[in-house]
Amino acid sequence: MGFARVVWTIARRLIILSILVIAFVASALTTIYLSRGKEVTVPKVVGKTQTEAKKVAQAAGLRIEAIEVFDEQTPADQVVRQEPKAGMLVKQGFTIKVYYSRGGKKS
């Protein structure tokens, strides 16, 4: 009976340890999944006015950082470049950079 009791004790401890490991892994995976946040696709705002770009970005759940650049070929207040590019996946609330034209260089 002594040997059977030792085997049963070891088996019971291994079962308990296995259950704890499975619970820990499940908890960690659940936390990672829930903390990811909703992903959204970056809309194309190049060619739009700064105001239109802001509205489009906000509708997608994104924020805008507007950066002024001088571009002689592009009308003033029109977006000439964006980062990240349209179509990329980002988390909701992410800030995209839009570079908008102020026309030609200052004299």
Do 25 and 57 fall within a single domain? no
Distance from C-alpha of 49 to C-alpha of 60, rounded to nearest angstrom: 17
Q: Which CATH number belongs to the domain containing residue 56 in this structure? A: 3.30.10.20
pLDDT of residue 30: 85
Token pair of 57, please?
């970005």
86 and 40 in contact (C-beta within 8 Å)? no
Q: Is residue 93 part of a domain?
A: yes
Q: Is residue 50 part of a domain?
A: yes
Q: 90 is in which domain, residue-wise?
A: 39-101
Q: Is residue 106 part of a domain?
A: no
82 and 98 in contact (C-beta within 8 Å)? yes
The pLDDT tens digits of the residues spanning 27-62 come to 998 888 777 778 899 999 999 999 999 999 999 999
In which band, very low, low, confident or very high, does the pLDDT at 90 lie, cut at 50, 70 and 90?
A: very high
Q: Which residues contact 3 (CB under 8 A, 6 or more apart)?
A: none
Do 32 and 43 fall within a single domain? no
Number of domains, the chain? 2
Q: Is residue 96 part of a domain?
A: yes
Residue type, 24: F
55 and 13 in contact (C-beta within 8 Å)? no
95 and 65 in contact (C-beta within 8 Å)? yes
Is 92 in a helix, a strand, or coil? coil
Do 85 and 72 fall within a single domain? yes
The pLDDT tens digits of the residues spanning 95-107 come to 999 999 987 666 5
